[in-house]
Amino acid sequence: MDFEFSEELKMLREMAYKFAVAEFTPVSRECDEHEKYTPEIRRKAAANGLVGAWVPEAYGGAGAGILGNAIITEELSRVDMGIGLNVVAATFGCEAIYQYGTEEQKRTYLPPVCAGEKVSAGAFTEPNAGTDVAGYKTRAVKDGDYYVINGNKMFITNGTVCDFMVAQCITNPEEKRHSSFSLIIVPADAPGVTRNKIRGKMGIRASDTAEIAFEDVRVPRENLVGKEGRGFIQLMHFFDTTRVMVAGQGIGLSVACLETCIKYCKERTAFGAPLGSFQLTQKKLTEMAIMIEALRGLVYKSAWLIDQGRPDYTLAAMAKFFSGQTAVFCANAAVELHGGYGYIDEYAVQKWYRDAKILELYEGTKEAEILTIGRTLMAK
């Protein structure tokens, strides 16, 4: 086994982090306070090959694969997870188009997103159905050469800033529950689409999140992604891939917590000695470091296997689960090590604490990941 990154991936890591420091740092506080999306940073990132880096060069991407994308996600999240999400999730939904779409769909939708000209979204979660994917109610009824879509979506990343979205809809209600869904590309400006920004989020406040309503939205039947009735299976495979990106966020945020705490514990004194000289302090730092290193192994291996054409969806679920556990632990430890200073907005650790929790919620809750892993173990 060779755990050494190629020179290309090393350069990609360095470039991504330098870009984030230069572009994110000056606006991070403002974006968090005012829930400000960052289209100009997304476009600059695209010019540097950081948007849709996983997409093959033939479709406008950098061809860095899922591992390269995970590394980019890690480094951007190390500076600001919300702004970083605006970059790496600009292609959210495009994974399904690449995996199951026609050649024409790939060439139509992927290149402009990778170039920073457009943004995509995945319109999946609904007001009364999150983890229960099979409980989605949005309907797409055939009408000649069109689908007519009615329904509501909730907590949609890029919801008010996207140019198109890949929506999960019921197209075959007469079929069994898991065979009734299809994925359909919906233009964001189609008549009947209403989008409202959700404000007041606890964390990742720079990222755009919205509620979307479809009222008699007509889209051509050629916008169907893959085969009709296969949407549930397609969406499960979609999440198994994108969970690796989300898990990469957890590495970056956790690393930021650890690096900041080490610096602070060297400078801060208590009882006449540096805070870092005490064994209880070292214990927390050590536990953070161990969890980060273990998480890296899960994420990198999961990503590498996908790039090798041998995805391990249980391993991806483990990476996603442990990412949330690690980020929440490290952010909590960072606040505690900073004491009272960790509780005020002068220090970034309070923001990281707020950002971390989403990693246990979106792209599959920690409970959903446990069920996925548990079923696999019991099936052996």
- Per-residue confidence of the chain (380 residues) as pLDDT tens digits? 789 999 999 999 999 999 999 999 999 999 999 999 999 999 999 999 999 999 999 999 999 999 999 999 999 999 999 999 999 999 999 999 999 999 999 999 999 999 999 999 999 999 999 888 889 999 999 999 999 999 999 999 999 999 999 999 999 999 988 899 999 999 999 999 999 999 999 999 999 999 999 999 999 999 999 999 999 999 999 998 999 999 999 999 999 999 999 999 999 999 999 999 999 999 999 999 999 999 999 999 999 999 999 999 999 999 999 999 999 999 999 999 999 999 999 999 999 999 999 999 999 999 999 999 999 999 98
How far apart (Å, rounded) are the C-alpha atoms in residues 124 and 189?
18
How far apart (Å, rounded) are the C-alpha atoms in residues 309 and 170?
30
User: Which neighbouring-strand residues pair with 181?
Assistant: 170
pLDDT of res. 123:
98
Which superfamily does 7-114 belong to? Acyl-CoA dehydrogenase/oxidase, N-terminal domain (1.10.540.10)
How far apart (Å, rounded) are the C-alpha atoms in residues 112 and 114?
6
pLDDT of res. 246:
97
The CA-based diameter of the chain, rounded to the nearest angstrom, is 79
CATH architecture for residues 233-379: Up-down Bundle (1.20)
Q: Does residue 59 sit in helix, strand or coil? A: helix
How far apart (Å, rounded) are the C-alpha atoms in residues 180 and 137?
11
> 347 with 353: CB under 8 angstroms?
no
How far apart (Å, rounded) are the C-alpha atoms in residues 182 and 172?
8
Domain boundaries, the chain: 7-114, 120-228, 233-379
> 250 with 326: CB under 8 angstroms?
yes
Residue 127 amino acid letter: P
CA dihedral (183, 361, 120, 127) positive or negative = positive
Query: What is the model's pTM?
Result: 0.97
Q: Which helix (H) or strand (E) holds 99?
A: helix 94-100
User: Which neighbouring-strand residues pair with 96?
Assistant: none
Closest CA to 31 of 17, 22, 41: 41
How far apart (Å, rounded) are the C-alpha atoms in residues 171 and 140?
5
∠ at Cα 285 (320, 254), nearest 5°?
30
CA-based end-to-end distance of the chain: 26
How far apart (Å, rounded) are the C-alpha atoms in residues 366 and 362?
9
Q: Which two tokens stand for residue 12?
A: 């990609």
pLDDT of res. 344:
97
DSSP E strands in the chain: the ranges are 120-123, 139-143, 146-157, 164-170, 181-187, 193-197, 209-220, 224-225, 269-270, 273-274
pLDDT of res. 115:
98
> What backbone torsions phi and psi does residue 218 show, to the nearest 5 degrees?
-100, 125
Pick the CATH number of 120-228 from 1.10.260.30, 2.170.150.70, 2.40.110.10, 2.60.15.10: 2.40.110.10
Is 171 exposed, middle or buried, given 0-12, 13-18 or 19+ CB atoms closer than 10 A? buried
Closest CA to 113 of 50, 184, 64, 38: 50
Q: Which two tokens stand for residue 113?
A: 């997103």
Residue corresponding to tokens 């007001």: 127
Residues known to be catalytic = 363
Q: Which long-range contacts (CB under 8 A, 24 or more apart) does 189-197 make?
A: 189/163, 190/217, 190/218, 190/219, 191/217, 191/218, 192/149, 192/216, 192/217, 192/218, 193/217, 195/159, 195/160, 196/160, 197/159, 197/160
Residues with Cβ < 8 Å from 289, sequence gap 6 or more?
258
